[in-house]
Structure 1
Amino acid sequence: MIPGQKISNSERKSFIEAIDNLFLKLELSYHYQFYKVFGTDHRLKEAKKLWAESLKKYPAECINAAVETVIQANDYLPTLTEVLKACSGSMGAINIPTPQEAFIEAQKSSSPRQSFPWTHPIIYWAGREIGWELINSKNNNAFQAFSKTYMRLVKEMKAGKEFTVTPKEQLDALEPLDLDLLEKLRKKYNL
């Protein structure tokens, strides 16, 4: 989330529910290990804060899918790092590429970008927003900037916003030149 940006109450509520659900499922699945690590209310509260801060860039759907994945894959209580990796992998469960895959696709895209066969339109819009020059530069912060923008757009998509990319050829076909208007403007301005 961009500093100063407000999120909707429903989005915040679903995120909090996802974090609570994560800890409930971990508690039920790894009860003894869970109590060994998060045994006091204070430790549990601090852990929830830390995990929520680390997972805030992922939509609630990704967190819920990741919990199921780590519980099925681990015999022992998973670490925050394992959950973060599962969240990144669960982006595919909601039919969009991970930020890493999207960044690589954006780097490999060619001009005209609107005509490029994107796996998902959000990649185009994230690249367009931060700038194609930054994506293709050797700047170490390019991926971080792209990832933040990409995840924000994913959240907007989950909130109902639709993203489409109209190929450049279609844009040209949609707006033919109005010859009558052009002639009127020429006469009006003596051109």
Structure 2
Amino acid sequence: MDKQLLERVTQPLGHPSTSSSTTTGDTPGVNEPRRDYETGTGPSPQQRDAINQIFALLRYNYHNQFTKAFPDLEAVKTGKRLWLNLLAEYPADVLLKAAERAVKECTWLPNVHEIIVRCDLASSLGVPDSWNAYLEACRAPTPKREQRWSHPIVYLAGKASDWFFLANNIEEVAYPVYERNYAILLRRLLAGEALDLPMEKGLPDHVEHPLPRQEQQQRLRDLIADFDHPGRS
């Protein structure tokens, strides 16, 4: 395969338009729905970008095996659509992290199953996908800090996004901000960083209670008398 054809083979999938559906690539009749922010269905632009990056990563690291598995442009387009469909439940950052792990661990070109196995590492940590995390964060009553969260990063991403901003903007505006902050926290979590809710301040060992008003006045009179009559026992 010559260089020009290889560059065509690895061209990215198109991003969804603002219309109800978008034709991806040059194949007629293959429509991919735009993301429905109300139901969370359909691939997000971030997921599409992740699949494109994964295919580029695999092509670079498994050149001969990649070109054998995806010998022409149509094979690459079909492969990307298949992977996008099978991996749709995973956030973009999880997909990229799983692909990087697969490249480090696999001698041969990894298939989609091997990516899913590594994606499930995040799922095993009890981390919801970014859309469900966003819904959980927005629906939680105040005070937010005192609620029971499915995972601490759901709260931490909401706090980083600003609770007032999330509550006062429509989903198409607020969700991308939350999703970005959630992705950053998820990347840190997958890297092994411990992310927990901030600890409540504990009560001191000894709690001071104010004196009754009459006793305060009496002590003040005694203090004044000591100044007027120094040395008095």
Return the TM-score normalized by structure 1: 0.51
Partner AA of 1:175 in structure 2: L
Could you list the per-position Cα deviations for residues 40-86 of structure 1 after superposition, in whole angstroms to 9, with x for gaps in the alignment?
A: xxx9xxx9xxxxxxxx95144344699999735xxxxxxxxxx9xx8
Cα offset for 1:98? Answer: 0.9
Greater RCO between the two (CA within 8 Å, min separation 6)?
Answer: 1
Q: Which residue of 2 aligns with 1:104?
A: 135
Task: Provide the residue aligned with 2:220 in structure 1.
Answer: none
Aligned match for 1:176, one of 163, 179, 204 = 204
User: Which residue of structure 2 lines up, in the alignment, with residue 61 of structure 1?
Assistant: 97
The amino acid across from 2:93 in the alignment is Y
Structure 2: give runs of 5+ residues left out of the alignment. 1-52, 81-90, 104-108, 212-233
For residue 186 of structure 2, what is the aligned residue in structure 1? 154
Name 1:127's counterpart in structure 2: 158
Tell me the alpha carbon deviations over residues 6-47 of structure 1, each in whole angstroms, 9 at most, x when there is no partner: xxxxxxxxxx99963477679758835x121289xxx9xxx9
Q: Rate the CA distance shift 1:179–1:117 in 2: closer, same or farther, 3 A.
A: closer
Q: Which amino acid aligns with 1:58?
A: D
Equivalent-residue separation in structure 2 for 1:151 and 1:112 (angstroms) = 24
* Residue-pair matches, total: 134
1:92 Cα deviation (Å)?
Answer: 2.8
The 2-side partners of 1:37 and 1:103 are apart by: 37
Distance 1:27 1:99 in 2: 35
CA distance in 2 between counterparts of 1:128 and 1:37 reads 44
Aligned residue number for residue 20 of structure 1:
57
Q: 1:69 to 1:99 in 2, by over 3 A?
A: farther
1:142 aligns with 2:174: yes
Structure 2 length normalisation: TM-score?
Answer: 0.43
* Matched residue SS, 2:195: coil
State whether residues 149 and 155 of structure 2, in contact with CA within 8 Å, keep that contact through their aligned partners in structure 1: yes
Match of 1:31 among 68, 73, 76: 68
Q: CA RMSD in A?
A: 4.6
In structure 2, distance between residues paired with 1:102 and 1:69: 29
> In 2 relative to 1, CA 154–25 (structure 1 residues): closer, same or farther, beyond 3 Å?
same
Identity of aligned residues (%): 16
Q: Distance in 1 between matches of 2:133 and 2:102?
A: 19
Query: 2:126–2:150: 8 Å Cα contact kept in structure 1?
Result: no
